[in-house]
């Protein structure tokens, strides 16, 4: 299992291009988190990949204009804890059902 940290500028479609490189290879994404990081944005992915796939993914990600840096290595303990704790529902689903009750009104 490898952790990838992709730093990018948040322009239209950049995160989708990052994820498309993964889905094109039919890889399972065990964990993903994307958000603001300093002056830019960062996507953290946890993937089971071969050394050849690491090279392919890094090459594809660096070819994206708005990707500024790609780092990979062994997953940190906080990523592994997030993986074990299981998926979290979207924020809108935990807002007390206000979106559902508003839709019914």
> Tell me, what's the pLDDT at 78?
74
Give the mean pLDDT of 77-100: 61
DSSP state of 39: T
* For residue 14, pLDDT beyond 90: yes
Question: Residue 63: enclosing H or E segment and its boundaries?
Answer: none
Q: Which domain holds residue 37?
A: 2-104
Domain count along the chain: 1
Q: Kindly give, in sequence order, each residue whose CB lies less than 8 Å from that of residue 93, ignoring residues fewer than 6 positions away.
A: none
Could you give the CA distance from residue 16 to residue 57 in angstroms, rounded to a whole number? 14
Q: Is the pLDDT higher at 90 or at 85?
A: 85
34: domain CATH number is 3.30.70.260
For residues 79-99, give the mean pLDDT. Answer: 60
pLDDT one-digit tens code per residue, 58-69? 999 999 999 999
Residue 79 pLDDT level (bands cut at 50, 70, 90): low
N- to C-terminal Cα distance for the chain? 47
What percent of the chain has a predicted confidence (pLDDT) above 90?
Answer: 59
Higher pLDDT, 27 or 99: 27
Q: Which pLDDT does position 75 carry in this prediction?
A: 82
Q: What is the 8-class DSSP label of residue 28?
A: -
Residue keyed to tokens 């090279």: 55
């Amino acid at each position: 299992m490898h952790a990838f940290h992709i730093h990018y500028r948040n322009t239209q479609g950049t995160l989708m291009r990052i994820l498309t490189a993964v889905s094109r290879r039919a890889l399972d994404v065990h964990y993903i988190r994307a958000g603001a990081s300093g002056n830019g944005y960062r996507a953290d992915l946890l993937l089971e990949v071969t050394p050849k796939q690491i090279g392919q993914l890094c090459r594809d990600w660096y070819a994206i204009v708005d990707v500024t840096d790609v780092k990979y290595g062994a997953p940190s303990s906080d990523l592994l804890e997030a993986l074990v704790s299981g998926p979290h529902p979207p924020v809108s689903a935990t807002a007390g059902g206000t979106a559902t009750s508003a839709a019914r009104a």
